């Protein structure tokens, strides 16, 4: 079951809920009972690396190993 993020329209408070996909856009009750309206937002995540200190033009987390996550072959996207 996926985790969805919801943000309060009034103050920007973010909550996460574990819900079935079919329920992703159903009304969310304010967990603090303040009457706020929550809407689903696009979840994002970051990744990093604790690798070597060599400078590189590639952003952290973008490493080519045979093929890139961007779908292009090694070196094909210009990031690595």
- The predicted pLDDT at position 52 comes to 52
CA distances from 79 to 42, 49, 67, 70 (A): 25, 15, 12, 10
* pTM for this predicted structure: 0.54
Lowest mean pLDDT among 11-15, 26-30, 40-44, 48-52: 48-52
pLDDT digit string, tens, across residues 43-77: 776 666 555 555 445 444 545 455 555 666 655 56
pLDDT band at 20 (very low <50, low <70, confident <90, very high): very high
CA distances from 12 to 3, 5, 69, 79 (A): 18, 12, 32, 34
Q: What is the largest CA-CA distance in the chain?
A: 52
- Is it the case that residue 26 has pLDDT exceeding 70? yes
CA-wise closest residue to 32 among 49, 14, 47: 14
């Amino acid at each position: 079951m996926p985790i969805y993020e919801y943000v309060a329209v009034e103050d920007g408070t973010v909550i996460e809920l574990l819900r079935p996909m079919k329920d992703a856009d159903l009304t969310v009750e304010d967990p603090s009972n303040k009457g706020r309206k929550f809407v689903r937002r696009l979840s994002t995540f970051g990744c990093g690396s604790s690798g070597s200190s060599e400078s590189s033009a590639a952003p952290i987390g973008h490493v080519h190993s045979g093929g890139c996550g961007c779908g292009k072959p090694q070196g094909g996207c210009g990031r690595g």
